[in-house]
Structures are given as structure tokens and as C-alpha cells.
Amino acid sequence: MKILGIETSCDETAVGIVEDGRLLRANVISSQVDLHARYGGVVPEVASRQHVRDMVPTLEKSLADGGIALEDVDFVAATYGPGLAGSLITGLNTAKALSFSLGVPLVGVNHLEGHIYASWLIEGVDSPAESPGFPLACLIASGGHTDLILMEGHGIYKLVGRTRDDAAGEAFDKAARILGLGFPGGPEIQRVSQGASGTELPALPRAWMKDTLDFSFSGVKTALLHLAQSKGVYPADTSILDKVQQAHLVREMAAIFQESLVDVMVVKLIEMAKQYHAKGIVLGGGVAANARLREVVAQRSTLPVIIPPPVLCTDNGAMIAACAYYQVQRGEQFGLDLDIDPALPLG
């Protein structure tokens, strides 16, 4: 069964082809990072227009990479939420047109569920459903979401924790802006923090919020802002710091900020796994590409940890196709009247 998956929930036009839910045939991503970098964040209207421009070339390259023709596609799947409304419309309408013209069923996929199923595409290993098996403790961390999801089986989810303010990726973006770094913030902070001691400055606070598995990242962002202001880093003050001093302080601040977010996410993820007797841990979403997060969760967890390669952590069409396969197995199909749901929940 060959499924073509389309993902346009934010600023990446992505089309993937997956066979039988696990074999990755193609995964083409057209990124808009350079387009939005000048603004320091994603501009929804700009993203929507760029999706329109990129959709057909991305689709054609995906088919070429997968070595198949449109007529070989058995199902068409697309993200219908959550995400930016204008972006979602572009991808879903493309999927509807393909479904109608090819005479094949349409499958609507929850973007968050897709991030979980990226772990089913890791080459050369058993699927998480087989090893370690359900239930799975899942952390979905991205620019728009930081959720703890208990996956009790295919299509069976329980939301047990979420951010009450900023998502982790959003916090990284705002921290990078404070430190004078580029967009997106997560990769920039990871890059800059390499080689930092992480001990020259006091640790930034952690919002543990007792008796809940929820997150809060607004406080550590504000603490970073105050620290940067006190050191002359924000706004950059050349009368206090030369370029070498500035770069050194930015590196140290990036490191302690990253450590604060990673520490809280890993501690709560492992606590969730214990509370719900999970057999394994799954990470997904763009923040799951962060090297420090991947390192720390692997070090601290006594359970098997499944993390897709970075290219499958960021938004991609292959994860949508993989997820759709298991929806088809459950008999889930959607009509052409399917509409977007920008606030679609999971669990």
C-alpha cells in the first residue's frame, strides 16, 4: 500500500511517500526558513503564498524520488490540523484534488499524531509497537507544541501534560532573538552553545510546577532577558563589551538556557513514563532534533528511547503518510468535505 502524505501545517511544504506504513520511498521538504528569517519568525500570509508556489514542484520531486507515478498511489493523506489556517488549506486542498482526480480515498491526519509516527520510519529497527511495545510515553516538542502524550495503542492517546504558555521551540526562538542570533532559534542556540562551560553563569530557573506534568517556559525566557540586560548583551552595548566578550557571554547564556529547557522536558518525560508504566519513550517534533535533548534523555532513561533522525523530527510528509497507513488499517477515511481544524487536539 503506497500512501502519499502532504504536510503544510506551518512553513514547510513537504510531500512524502511511504509503503505499508514503514518503508520510506520519498521525503521531500521545501523549507521557507530563509524567507522568514528576515522577520525573526513565521509570517502566516507569506507562508501560505509560498506553499502555493512550492506545492507542485515538491510533489513532482517526491514522485520522482519514490520512482512511482501518481497512478500508483493508493491513498492520499494530508495534515488538516493543528497549524496555521492558510497553510493547512493549501495542503488539504491539494490532497482533495489528487484524491478526486485519481479516484483514491483521502485520509486526514493530525499533525501531532504524525510526529509520533515518524518513529515508525526509522530504518533497520522494529516498529515501536513491536519493540518495546505499548504504552509509549511520547514528548512532542516543536515551535507550536510541547505535549506529553501517552500512546496506549494505535489511535489511542491520552494528553497528560502540555505547556501553559510558550512552546519549547517558541522559547528557543525568543531566546535567540534576545541573544542576537538567527532564526530558527533552536538550531542557532545549539550551534552557539557548543564548547560552552555552562558553569560561568548562574543556572537559569526551572518551572517545576508541583503535582502536574505541565510545562511553563515563559519564566526562564524572562530570566534570560534580565541576565542579558545586566551583562550588556541585550541590547548589545559596545561600551561595555568588545566582540570577543560579547560572543563568549552569548555562548554561555545559550548553554544555560538550553540546559534549563532540556532538564525540565526530560525530567517530566521520565516521570510521566514512570507514572503510566510506559514500556518506552518516543520523541517527535522539531525540538527533538536538538542534540542536547537527545543526549540527555538517552543518558537518564532506563527505558528504550526512540528518536527519529533529525530530518524526520522536523515537519515532513513521510510522517503523515506513515500515520495515515495505521488510520487506514482502523478503517478511517474522510470525504472531500473534510475541513481544516487549526486547533485540532490529540488525546
Considering only CA atoms, which of 181, 8, 196 is closest in space to residue 84? 8
- Tell whether 140 and 197 lie within a shared domain: yes
Indicate the burial class of 79 (C-beta count within 10 angstroms; 0-12, 13-18, 19 or more): buried
Evaluate if residue 333 carries a pLDDT over 90: no
pLDDT in tens, 118-175: 999 999 999 999 999 999 999 999 999 999 999 999 999 999 999 999 999 999 999 9
pLDDT in tens, 187-208: 999 999 999 999 999 999 999 9
Alpha-carbon span 324 to 330, nearest angstrom: 10
Query: What integer best gives the mean pLDDT of the chain?
Result: 97
Alpha-carbon span 334 to 107, nearest angstrom: 5
Q: What is the pLDDT of residue 239?
A: 77
Q: Does some domain include residue 263?
A: yes
Q: Does some domain include residue 334?
A: no
Integer CA distances (angstroms), 9 to 54, 66, 259, 344, in order: 14, 23, 28, 11
Number of separate domains in the chain = 2
Backbone angles phi, psi at 150, to 5 degrees: -90, 120
Evaluate if residue 40 carries a pLDDT over 80: yes
Q: Does some domain include residue 290?
A: yes
pLDDT band at 347 (very low <50, low <70, confident <90, very high): confident
Residues 179/254, Cβ–Cβ less than 8 Å:
yes
Q: What is the pLDDT of residue 246?
A: 93
Q: What cell does 92 get?
A: 488539504
Q: What is the pLDDT of residue 237?
A: 79
Q: Has this prediction a pTM greater than 0.85?
A: yes
- Tell whether 147 and 74 lie within a shared domain: no
pLDDT band at 238 (very low <50, low <70, confident <90, very high): confident
Considering only CA atoms, which of 145, 16, 31 is closest in space to residue 78? 16
Residues 217/207, Cβ–Cβ less than 8 Å:
yes
- Tell whether 206 and 191 lie within a shared domain: yes
Q: How do strand 280-284 and strand 136-141 relate by DSSP bridges? A: parallel
Q: What is the pLDDT of residue 236?
A: 84
Q: Does some domain include residue 129?
A: no
- Tell whether 115 and 154 lie within a shared domain: no
Residue 132: asked if its preceding bond is cis (omega within 30°), the reply is yes
150: CATH: 3.30.420.40
Indicate the burial class of 24 (C-beta count within 10 angstroms; 0-12, 13-18, 19 or more): buried
Question: Residues of the chain with pLDDT > 70: what percent?
Answer: 100
- Tell whether 167 and 253 lie within a shared domain: yes
Residues 269/139, Cβ–Cβ less than 8 Å:
yes
Structural domain for 201, as ranges: 136-306
DSSP category for residue 11: S
- Tell whether 91 and 239 lie within a shared domain: no
Residues 319/5, Cβ–Cβ less than 8 Å:
yes
Q: How do strand 106-110 and strand 75-81 relate by DSSP bridges? A: parallel
Considering only CA atoms, which of 337, 18, 293 is closest in space to residue 169? 293
- Tell whether 40 and 166 lie within a shared domain: no
Evaluate if residue 241 carries a pLDDT over 90: no
pLDDT in tens, 283-294: 999 999 999 999
Mean pLDDT of 326-338: 94
- Tell whether 151 and 256 lie within a shared domain: yes
